Amino acid sequence: MNSARSYPRLSELALGQHALVKAVHSAESLAHRLVALGFRTGKPLHVIRRGKLSGPLQVRLGTTDVILRRSEAAQIEVQLTPASGHGGKPA
């Protein structure tokens, strides 16, 4: 059964886009590695740099920067969010 709503993959995000991690769809070993790096459901992230052609992505999760292969990023479902200059904290 297909889901009524489909989320984009991290590999599809443009430079500077903000999102929340929705799910990781990968082999167990890669999923454990991604979780250890901070890719947990609900975690906010944004794209800092995109390599040319099919190069890697630099993603910021909180204060941590992670470089991922495009193929790894394609296995992470995200939900787009508006950019937040204050880290999402109330004023």
Q: CA 51 to CA 54: how far, in whole Å? A: 7
Model confidence at 41, in pLDDT bands (50, 70, 90)? very high
Model confidence at 84, in pLDDT bands (50, 70, 90)? low
Model confidence at 32, in pLDDT bands (50, 70, 90)? very high
| Cα–Cα separations (whole angstroms), residue 56 to 18, 51, 69, 77 | 17, 5, 5, 17
pLDDT at position 6, please? Answer: 82
Q: What is the mean pLDDT of the chain?
A: 86
Model confidence at 54, in pLDDT bands (50, 70, 90)? confident
Q: Quick one: average pLDDT of 58-71?
A: 94
Q: What share of the chain is helix, strand, coil (3-state, %, to 5)?
A: 20, 35, 45
Domain ranges of the chain: 10-78
Task: Identify whether the C-beta of residue 50 lies closer than 8 Å to the C-beta of residue 15.
Answer: yes
CATH number of 10-78: 2.30.30.90
pLDDT at position 78, please? Answer: 96
